[in-house]
A and B are shown apart, each in its own frame.
Chain A
Amino acid sequence: EPEVTQTPSHQVTQMGQEVILRCVPISNHLYFYWYRQILGQKVEFLVSFYNNEISEKSEIFDDQFSVERPDGSNFTLKIRSTKLEDSAMYFCASSRELSSPLHFGNGTRLTVT
């Protein structure tokens, strides 16, 4: 069964550094998402992406965040200047249609020190 893959599985970075989290969505899916989950808290929506542009973003997705689909397969989340409170599990997801369920990757655990 096709899977969403995310790399790296764990990223440690210093406060103020830039990080790029990478995702390869399922190949015939058209909608792409990033979510985050701070340890012990709920899964929070960050951004959705369709047809090479952002469809919706949450209040969390401020100017320090950006997403890109640089080629036909990768979908990246960039955090420009990381803060301690950015430490979380970041999940990428994709879906075939807007009303379809999301398929999640295994996540990238980001630790900001």
Chain B
Amino acid sequence: RKEVEQDPGPFNVPEGATVAFNCTYSNSASQSFFWYRQDCRKEPKLLMSVYSSGNEDGRFTAQLNRASQYISLLIRDSKLSDSATYLCVAPSNSGYALNFGKGTSLLVTP
């Protein structure tokens, strides 16, 4: 299994829709995970940290399933400004690096 795998999309959704992204990771000992957002030609920016079963921040909810080694990100009431690439991040097998998934592209349309 690759260290971090994501569905690349693209996801094209209308404004107001709910959309979910999935991610699987290989290091079963990992304790901390992250979702980042990346706009075109910009640096990744932290969206959410996931340290236990899940985390919620406004319209964004992240969930962690340790048994299945699976992380998800749910975006409710999508806005045009949510259009970006969403990156799933998990520790490497050694734990001394964070590995990024390939990213899931989201386009929210009017």
Contact = CB atoms under 8 A, between A and B. Distances in A.
A35 B89 CA distance: 13
Contact of A56 (B38, B94, B100): B94
Given A89-B41, A104-B44, A42 B96 contact: no
Contacts of B97: 33, 45, 48, 55-56, 58
A contact residues, range: 20 to 34
Contact of B43 (A44, A45, A55, A105): A105
A103 interface: yes
B96 A106 contact: no
| A contacts with B: majority SS | strand
Interface string B86-110: 0101011011111111110000000
Nearest to A92: B43
Contacts of B52: none
Nearest to A4: B43
A107 B40 CA distance: 13
Contact of B44 (A41, A43, A50, A99): A43
A43 B42 CA distance: 11
B101 to A, nearest CB: 7
A72 interface: no
Interface of A: 33, 35, 41-45, 48, 50, 55-56, 58, 89, 91, 98-107
